[in-house]
Structure 1
Amino acid sequence: MIKAIIIDDEQNNIINLQRLLEKYCPEVIVTGSSTNPNEGIELIKSSQPDLVFLDIQMPEKDGFQVLQELNLYDFEVIFVTAFSQYGIQAIKFSAIDYLLKPIDIEELKKAVAKTSERLKHKNQNLQLQNLLHHLKESNNSSDHRIAISSLKETRFVYVKNIVRCESENSYTLFYTDEGETIISTVPLYEYDEMLSVYGFIRCHQSHLVNKKHVKSLLKEDNYTLLLYDQIRIPVSRNKKDLVKKALI
């Protein structure tokens, strides 16, 4: 059984989520709830849940501020929000689950199933710690780490150490400046959105490149990016102008 609490400023949302869990995720037992973020903080401390369903947007404190007031993160979090852009990039960056209101039943079941799997190896929640660090150091991008979900683990890699990403069917291959290759179960297009603000260029349908590692743009039969490690990355014809502009 998964012991859970719900923190949401709308009582109707709490009731609705609890009913969905009872019907579709019977392994989750809701042991408490709160419409007040301050009371929610005390509830987390006193009840020591396995899982917290946490509304992002609340008066007084948002969901991120609730977490920032805690010192121990030995529980899992599934964020709940009515807005698709509010904090979602930071959440994705740390590979944390979230649900959009109104809650989709299949998405709820998937999120709970992933949480259940992580709880089998329960320890300090490094993904939450990475999220809070990301939010705290939002102006210091050189210190940001991205959570990369692989088949066996979640790896935390400094963005500045990523040379390039390559699509491999529904997987993404990460290549680091230390010569390591990490296989992610997340498709490339999701990383494109996350990493674009860090100077990564989608130069090809199958390639995403950190422009800090680009040595030159070769004007051969087709345009090619030459990296400092001598790897050559193709540039799609329709991406040529975008790549030129990004490298200036």
Structure 2
Amino acid sequence: MIRAIIIDDEPNAVGLLALRLAQHCPQVEVVASCTNSRQGIQAILDHHADLVFLDIEMPQLNGFQVLEAVAGVSFSLAFVTAYDEFALKAFRYSAVDYLLKPIDTQELIQAVARVEKRRETLPEQLEHLKQQLNSPVKTFPDRIALPYQNGVAFVEMKDIIYCEANHNYTKFYLQDGRYHLAAKSLRDIQELLEERDFLRVHRQFLINLGHIRKFVKGEGSYVVMSNQQTIPVSRMQKERLMERFGWL
């Protein structure tokens, strides 16, 4: 069983989430439900749960202050939030789980499934997220968190040459010759990185436009990347690539 705690200052939200878990996630046992942040801190310290569902915007102490108060206690975390689209992307850049209010049942099931496979949320992820949410200027970060089997790697965007689909995982090929295998699909990665001078040129490949060294047009169009790797460009994506560079 997954032992879970729910912390949210809205009693209706707490009750609804507990009901959804009982109906759709029988492997989850809710060991505490709290409607204020101080109760939540005590529940985390008392119960040593596997998973905490935590609202961010609460009176007295917000979600990040709750986490600071229980530093050193290990658990998986899923923020429950009503944040805007920019903030939701900040969660994804940090690889921190979140559920958007009102909670979608399928997303809840998927979040619980990820907890069964994965590790606790790391302090580095939370700090990365907090910096973005607290930034007065809405700019996307220079680093992305890549979850893998044993933890999370933080990678500079400029160091990523290209990404390759690998079933439900994605391989990130870096300038120094290493690669990271991240537990995210290429489609998920595409939604974030295409805002950062990346382009999906093939169903299997997403490339960093800054690392293109050569583009060869024709029936079998391809690009040569800075690491000399040849990447095919599909017929459908060739026009998009040419538009991005203003090529004729």
**Alignment-derived partner of residue 124 in structure 2:** 129
2:96 paired residue number = 96
1:48 equivalent in alignment to 2:43 = no
2:33 aligned counterpart, secondary structure: strand
Note if contact 1:172-1:185 (Cα within 8 Å) is conserved in structure 2. Answer: yes
CA positional deviation for 1:42: 4.2
In the TM superposition, what are the counterparts of 1:96-245 in structure 2 within 5 Å? 96-118=96-118, 125-126=121-122, 128-136=123-131, 141-142=141-142, 144-149=143-148, 152-159=149-156, 160-168=158-166, 170-215=168-213, 217-218=214-215, 220-221=217-218, 224-235=222-233, 236-244=237-245
Which stretches in structure 1 are left out of the alignment for 5+ residues? none
TM-score under structure 1 length normalisation: 0.76
Cα distance 1:62–1:195, how it changes in 2: closer, same or farther (>3 A)?
farther
Instruction: After TM superposition, give the deviation of residue 13 of structure 1 in Å.
Output: 1.1
Q: Helix, strand or coil: the match of 2:74? A: coil
SS of residue matched to 1:88? helix
Residues 148 and 5 (structure 1), Cα distance of their counterparts in 2 relative to 1, 3 Å cut: closer
CA gap of 1:60–1:200, structure 2 versus 1, over 3 A, is farther
Alpha-carbon distance change, 196 to 26 in structure 1, aligned in 2, over 3 angstroms: same
* Percent of aligned pairs sharing the same letter: 35
In 2, Cα distance between equivalents of 1:38 and 1:168: 44
Name the aligned partner's letter for residue 156 of structure 1: A
Deviation at 1:9, TM superposition (A): 1.8
Q: Does 1:24 align with 2:20?
A: no
Q: Which residue of 1 aligns with 2:3?
A: 3
Residues 228/114 of structure 1: CA separation in 2 closer, same or farther (3 Å cut) = closer
Runs of 5+ consecutive residues of structure 2 not aligned to the other structure: none
Q: Is the 8 A contact 1:199 1:212 kept in 2?
A: yes
User: TM-score when scaled to structure 2?
Assistant: 0.76
C-alpha distance after superposition, 1:115-170 (max 9, x if no partner): 1333xxx6x633x532322432667944x242234xx4444141343211123454
Distance 1:117 1:199 in 2: 32
In structure 2, how many angstroms separate the alpha carbons of the residues matched to 1:206 and 1:62?
41
2: distance between equivalents of 1:12 and 1:74?
A: 27
Q: CA deviation at 1:187?
A: 2.2
Change in CA separation of 1:165 and 1:30 when aligned onto 2, cut-off 3 Å = same
**Number of positions where the alignment pairs a residue of Structure 1 with one of Structure 2:** 237
CA distance in 2, matches of 1:221, 1:26: 55
